Chains A and B, each alone.
Chain A
Amino acid sequence: MATGERIDGVRSPRALVWERRRAAAGAHWAAFRHNRQGTVGLGILTLFVAVAVAGPMFIDQASMEPATADGPLLAAPSLAYPLGTDNFGRSMLSLMVQGARISLLVGFTAAMGTMLIGASVGITAGYFGGTRVDTVLNGVTNWFLVLPWIALAIALTAVIGPTLVNVIVVIAITSWASTARVVRSQALSVKERPFIERSRALGAGHRHLITRHVLPNVFPILFANAVLMIALAILSETTLSILGLGPADAISWGRIIDDSFSAGALSAGWWWWLIPPGLAIMSVTLSFTMVGFALDEVLSPRLRSR
């Protein structure tokens, strides 16, 4: 049909935009699939996420309560308890599955919070680059970059109390600054591009320019950064847990490490209690890092050309 489109084939600008975005995402995915580091990481992560989502459904919750757990105390791995038991007689395998849910939850939500704060501050500062808004926001970002996160996190958690929600909030508050810095520099360069000026000439306001033009162009970098932040958040939760500031109301992998350490697993040689949670944290963090690096390579043209 060379002569004109059918009338119902006319697409709205929004549909066109989404079509373009889908095509870009498809191209990125194709590039990502050829990155071995990224696909291996993604495979491991899918496994862990599946366990975290579906696993707890197969666990009898009564066996997870210290009061009602009925296994042998501190038993080494056996057929009945493949990863042994802890000091309450809970199956380590079940604890690890429960822990997967909490640790990944902390990772995802804390990273989301980090992105929310970091992206808002970074985009606003970058878009209003050179103005007083930028000076103030950039100053605050630099303050948070300089403060040692651990000292800040310890002080905050100690004051507001170590619950699951508080730990997530504290991690987000202490780690958004590096995201804001990355996003700001990207936003600074995006806002100088000609299409922004064209859009402004057509009467676009700040809000339209930020949400429709700056944000979509900053998004790829934000996405790669978010994946790396999940890894960092899980490590941060572990650090806080080992210091006794982990979520008191939920069992994460970090909490399991802390519990085993506090119970004297080192001197008593209860290796099955200490080793699995650390290995799990390490594999998940490594996978997120590999996926993050791969995304960085796929999404940022500067790296791809090298």
Chain B
Amino acid sequence: MGSRGYVARKLVQAGFTLAFVLTFNFFLFRVLPGDPVGLLAKSQRLTEADVAGLRAELGLDQPIGRQYLTYVGQTLTGNLGVSLRTARDVTATIWSRIGPTVLLVGLGTLFSTVIGIWIGIKGGWRRGSRFDTSTLYGSLALYSIPEGWLGMLLLLALSGALGLFPAGGFELGGRTGTARFVDVLDHLFLPVLTLTLGYVGQYAIIMRSSMIDVLGEEYVTSARAKGVPEHLVRRRHVVPNAFLPTFTLIFLNFGFVLGGAIVVEAVFSWPGLGLLTYEAINQLDFPVIQGVFLVSSAAVVVFNLLADVTYGYLDPRVRAA
């Protein structure tokens, strides 16, 4: 099958997954707890008459099939409902919070992958060396620390006790130009450090085991046998092939990084999607939780699609499979 067929197949798969997410979302929030009014009654005091009135207003007295179609239609046109707390449009609320999350997750992913892959290459190449053993145990330890707690610890030590960094938030406000930029960086430092430390271990372990796998391949032995210098064996034969599986895992891991980001944002009051979710959970603001679930799932599906397509481009064997 050609690469166009491969891409088309992946597109169709992603489409099906999105349809599944959409349906799942509908059932989770409308059918499982009774209906949204049931959820609302959970968080607020409502009289019988209020309940009946709201049902009619939201179209919940309609047959379930029609409700589903209305829901799909609304979602596809970007209507995610209205927040129970702020009465603001959920789509607009989510849109206004995406920027800070992209900044945080982007920088966290960048640093953790670059450093993790570097450690993995170095450790896997000299397996059993002191560098390898110490970084392997370090990686395992970092993997075992809950990100949220790590963030709290950093806040306690570097912000509370030593006063080196602000205790949270995006900026102090009232600044412009370079001063504002520096201020935001100051606020960004600890959350990004937390995310980086939280994920660098995983990438190091993945890259290391991938290196070890490739080092056992026959083409590496052939390269050495024909006299290719060691640094070239490493750079041309081992690292590119070891990088392939790591590359997909970085994208597949995106969902987990997003989870970590939600907790880290909650701890550092970083005003992104995570903090929005945290606030929505504590206020039982279901339309917002539902909206964030939909948007983050869609983001992960798109990222997986990108990973598949790029992977197919990088590794021709996959396209044929």
- A residues with CB within 8 A of B: 139, 142-143, 145-152, 154-156, 158-160, 231, 235, 238-239, 242-245, 254, 257, 261, 265-267, 269, 271, 274-275, 277-278, 281-283, 285-286, 289-290, 293, 306
User: In the bound complex, do residue A146 and residue B145 qualify as a contact, i.e. CB atoms below 8 Å apart?
Assistant: no
Known contacts A274-B156, A286-B140; A243 and B278 CB within 8 A of each other: yes
User: In the bound complex, do residue B278 and residue A150 qualify as a contact, i.e. CB atoms below 8 Å apart?
Assistant: no
B68-126 residues at the A interface, CB under 8 angstroms: none
A151, A238, A286: most-surrounded residue (chain B CB, <10 A): A151
Q: Judge if B293 is at the interface, Cβ distance under 8 Å.
A: yes
CA distance A41 to B254 in the complex (A): 29
User: In the bound complex, do residue B297 and residue A242 qualify as a contact, i.e. CB atoms below 8 Å apart?
Assistant: no
B146-167 residues at the A interface, CB under 8 angstroms: 146-150, 152-153, 155-156, 159-161, 167
CA distance A69 to B251 in the complex (A): 49
CA distance A292 to B136 in the complex (A): 15
CA distance A147 to B303 in the complex (A): 11
CA distance A254 to B149 in the complex (A): 9
DSSP class of A's interface residues: helix, strand, loop or mixed?
A: helix
User: In the bound complex, do residue A155 and residue B146 qualify as a contact, i.e. CB atoms below 8 Å apart?
Assistant: no
CA distance A245 to B289 in the complex (A): 13
CA distance A243 to B278 in the complex (A): 6
B192-233 residues at the A interface, CB under 8 angstroms: 212, 216
Binds A, one of B1-9, B239-247, B260-268: B260-268
Q: Judge if B135 is at the interface, Cβ distance under 8 Å.
A: no
CA distance A19 to B146 in the complex (A): 42
Binds A, one of B28-36, B47-55, B172-180, B313-321: B28-36
Known contacts A159-B39, A278-B146; A266 and B266 CB within 8 A of each other: no
Give the interface size class of chain B.
35 or more
User: In the bound complex, do residue B144 and residue A159 qualify as a contact, i.e. CB atoms below 8 Å apart?
Assistant: no
CA distance A188 to B140 in the complex (A): 31
Contact pattern, B 1-26, Cβ under 8 Å of A = 1, otherwise 0: 00000000000010011001100110
- Nearest B residue (CB) for A140: B20
User: In the bound complex, do residue A239 and residue B148 qualify as a contact, i.e. CB atoms below 8 Å apart?
Assistant: yes
Q: Judge if B143 is at the interface, Cβ distance under 8 Å.
A: yes
Q: Judge if B250 is at the interface, Cβ distance under 8 Å.
A: no
Residues of A within 8 A of B256 (CB): 148-150
User: In the bound complex, do residue A159 and residue B156 qualify as a contact, i.e. CB atoms below 8 Å apart?
Assistant: no
CA distance A269 to B263 in the complex (A): 21
- Nearest B residue (CB) for A277: B149
- Nearest A residue (CB) for B297: A147
Residues of B within 8 A of A148 (CB): 254-256, 258-259, 296-297, 300
Known contacts A149-B259, A243-B281; A257 and B149 CB within 8 A of each other: yes
User: In the bound complex, do residue B292 and residue A151 qualify as a contact, i.e. CB atoms below 8 Å apart?
Assistant: yes
User: In the bound complex, do residue A147 and residue B21 qualify as a contact, i.e. CB atoms below 8 Å apart?
Assistant: yes
Residues of B within 8 A of A149 (CB): 255-256, 259
Residues of A within 8 A of B286 (CB): 158-159
Smallest beta-carbon distance B206→chain A, Å: 13
Residues of A within 8 A of B290 (CB): 155
9 extra A-B contacts, CB within 8 A, seeds A155-B29, A158-B289, A285-B144: A146-B17, A151-B297, A154-B293, A155-B289, A159-B29, A239-B148, A266-B167, A269-B161, A289-B144
